[in-house]
Structure 1
Amino acid sequence: MKVLITGGAGFIGSTVASACEQAGHEPVLLDDLSTGLSAFALGRPLYVGDVGDPVLISRVVSEHPDIAAVVHCAAKIVVPDSVAKPLDYYANNVGKGVELLRSLARHGLTRFVFSSSASIYAVSDDFTVDEDSPLAPASPYAATKAMFETILEDASHAGDVRAVSLRYFNPIGADPELRTGLSIPEPSHALGRLISSWRAGRPFTITGHDWPTPDGTGIRDYIHVWDLARAHVAALERFDEVAPASNPYRVYNIGTGRGVTVRELVTAFESVTGDAVDVVDGPRRPGDSAGVYTRSERAARELDWRAERTLEDGIRDSLAWAERLPDVLGAASA
């Protein structure tokens, strides 16, 4: 199967591309390289440009008429940034997404796998959610994901598209062969900040310590990015079964089913590195929430997918990638 992956030179998209190749599929990448790296597309067709550009989409399809499905990973994703610049996030994540759907429909491409987010859920009393749990996006970023899901569901019932939305939780790690990973030297998520603090020898600040969780810190479902990539492949390979014309929109939670607080993340990090981490408590960031983790088995039942890698695996691969990233960025700028 030939698959168009938007955001295909980014952290998630490039890893999905590798998982597709490993499963015998052929990825075609589209990325504006605002955060992605052309090095992540090495050996793969790469189109540099905007997902909302109908001329570019027409070119991609004309040069690859055998594309059978689209995986949409292109998005702005930094929660505090979305609070500061909400219009940018709505224009990019929603407006350009609609233009992409229109372009694909004109070319008869109706299989669409959307990289959504579990950040759209309302926080429940026990912090667990399934696909039918109430939604309450806590940031403009999360709201763009929920809004685009609504658009996909409406468009699917109108016959414009068939779609599978993968609501994934908190990706960590890197490609296990260290081909790709985060392209940002100073990421804003908890594990990225923890690694940066540890490498610099400075205290790690927990942003928010008064949440109604067991230890007061945010709770997350940390999923290895390779497991997440495998879930995209599973959705592609079972697409016609789970999203037929008679039921053209389906949602899946993609997580481990294990809730981990930030303090527990620090403990796991210390066990992997063998070093004690100096921790200080700080205020919540704009747009943050207490967090949730999945209790759903739908992906296991219908996609034959389960997370296989551990939290510690994700930490080890993240550390290995952080060591490799300067060389990757240096080569990219040479």
Structure 2
Amino acid sequence: MKVLITGGAGFIGSTIASACQDASITPVILDNLVTGRREFTADRAFYEGDVADGALIDQIFDDHPDITAVIHCASLIVVPESMADPLRYYSENVAKGVQFFRHLHRNQCTRLLFSSSAAIFEADGTNLTVDETSPLAPGSPYAKTKAMLESIVDDIATAGQLRVLSLRYFNPIGADPQLRTGLQIFRPTHALGGIIEAHHSGEPFKITGTDFPTADGTGIRDYVHVWDIAQAHVAALKRFDEVLDSEGADSTVIILGSGHGTTVRELVGVFETVTGTSLKTIEVPRRPGDPAGAYSNSTKAERLLDWTPKLSLEEAVRDSLSWHAKRTDILGAPDGQPVQLG
């Protein structure tokens, strides 16, 4: 089996590519390297370019006529950035996504795994557990682009032009356990990345928001190891037609999550336990667009994909730390400058 992975030089896409290789599925990578890293494409068929480039998509399918499915990970994903520049997010994620789907249809590729997000759920502050039937109310332009694309691919599937599994996953953390790839952003915006940077720099970690409707007032997230997310994509590839046939539809949504909610303060506690150190923290106001959060009921993934997460939050923290220690050996220093680890 051969699969095209857009955004396959990014954190999640490259990890999925490694999981595919381990499962004897050959990945072909398409990435414009805006946030992805060329280093993550070593020993893989790689095309540098844009998903909206029809000539390039045609070339990929000409070069690899045995591609049987596409995993669409290419996306801008930073919530505060999307609030500041929504036009860029709608252009890059939605407009170019529609063009890409047109190119897939022209090349007669009918199987699409769409990387969606749990950020699209309604954050009502009362019931923080969600499943595939829970109401949607995306709170940021980033989240709205994911909801829009879900709706678009569902319409395309209804028209018989694609078959689609939308994998709506929660908060991927950790790294490839073999440390082939990991988070490539040197100044990440998510909580664990910020905690690790604060741990090494000696600066206090900023807890963004303490007035959310959660047990301790801090945001709650469903953290799932990125390797578990990758394994779910492999399972979805292998069961693609079986899943949709069992659902009696050409499009369906599947949630991927750990099934457990962890607040920011609880995540700090897990990090301190794993490292055996104390982390300095300060409290600051919540960021624009940040929801209280939610966590998953992933029984549909277990039923259709025979998938449940195998790796713990503690293992994700350890793998993140191991990757952080190795990251500059693979990617070099940020902006060509030495990295101060503290």
TM bracket, shorter-chain basis: over 0.9
* Corresponding residue of 1:301: 303
Deviation at 1:77, TM superposition (A): 0.4
* Corresponding residue of 1:312: 314
> In 2, are the aligned partners of 1:185 and 1:325 still within 8 Å (CA)?
no
The structure 1 segments of at least 4 consecutive aligned residues displaced by more than 6 Å after TM superposition are: 331-334
**CA deviation map 1:173-205 (0-9, x unaligned):** 000000001111110000001110110001111
> Residues of 2 paired with 1:333 and 1:296: CA distance?
40
The sequence identity of aligned pairs, in percent, is 57
> Residues of 1 paired with 2:215 and 2:329: CA distance?
40
**CA deviation map 1:242-282 (0-9, x unaligned):** 12495100111100000000000000000000001111111
SS in 1 for 2:332: helix
* Corresponding residue of 1:21: 21
Deviation at 1:332, TM superposition (A): 10
> In 2, are the aligned partners of 1:175 and 1:225 still within 8 Å (CA)?
yes
> Residues of 1 paired with 2:326 and 2:263: CA distance?
27
Q: Does 1:155 align with 2:160?
A: no
Unaligned runs of 5+ residues in structure 2 are: 337-342
> Residues of 2 paired with 1:332 and 1:42: CA distance?
20
Greater Cα offset, 56-65 or 123-132: 123-132
Deviation at 1:324, TM superposition (A): 1.1
Q: Does 1:137 align with 2:138?
A: yes
* Corresponding residue of 2:53: 53
> Residues of 2 paired with 1:91 and 1:186: CA distance?
24
> In 2, are the aligned partners of 1:38 and 1:332 still within 8 Å (CA)?
no
Aligned CA RMSD, in angstroms, stands at 1.4
* Corresponding residue of 1:287: 289
User: TM-score if structure 1 supplies the norm length?
Assistant: 0.98
Deviation at 1:123, TM superposition (A): 2.1
SS in 1 for 2:103: helix
> In 1, are the aligned partners of 2:186 and 2:334 still within 8 Å (CA)?
no
Residues 43 and 331 of structure 1, relative CA distance in 2, 3 Å threshold: farther
1:1-334 paired onto structure 2 within 5 Å: 1-124=1-124, 125-244=126-245, 246-330=248-332
> Residues of 2 paired with 1:96 and 1:290: CA distance?
30
User: TM-score if structure 2 supplies the norm length?
Assistant: 0.96
SS in 1 for 2:13: helix
Residues 284 and 143 of structure 1, relative CA distance in 2, 3 Å threshold: same
Letter in 1 for 2:146: K
> In 1, are the aligned partners of 2:114 and 2:167 still within 8 Å (CA)?
yes
Unaligned runs of 5+ residues in structure 1 are: none
> Residues of 2 paired with 1:211 and 1:222: CA distance?
18
Deviation at 1:296, TM superposition (A): 3.1
Greater Cα offset, 117-126 or 27-36: 117-126
Deviation at 1:154, TM superposition (A): 0.5
> Residues of 2 paired with 1:105 and 1:90: CA distance?
22
> Residues of 2 paired with 1:205 and 1:105: CA distance?
45
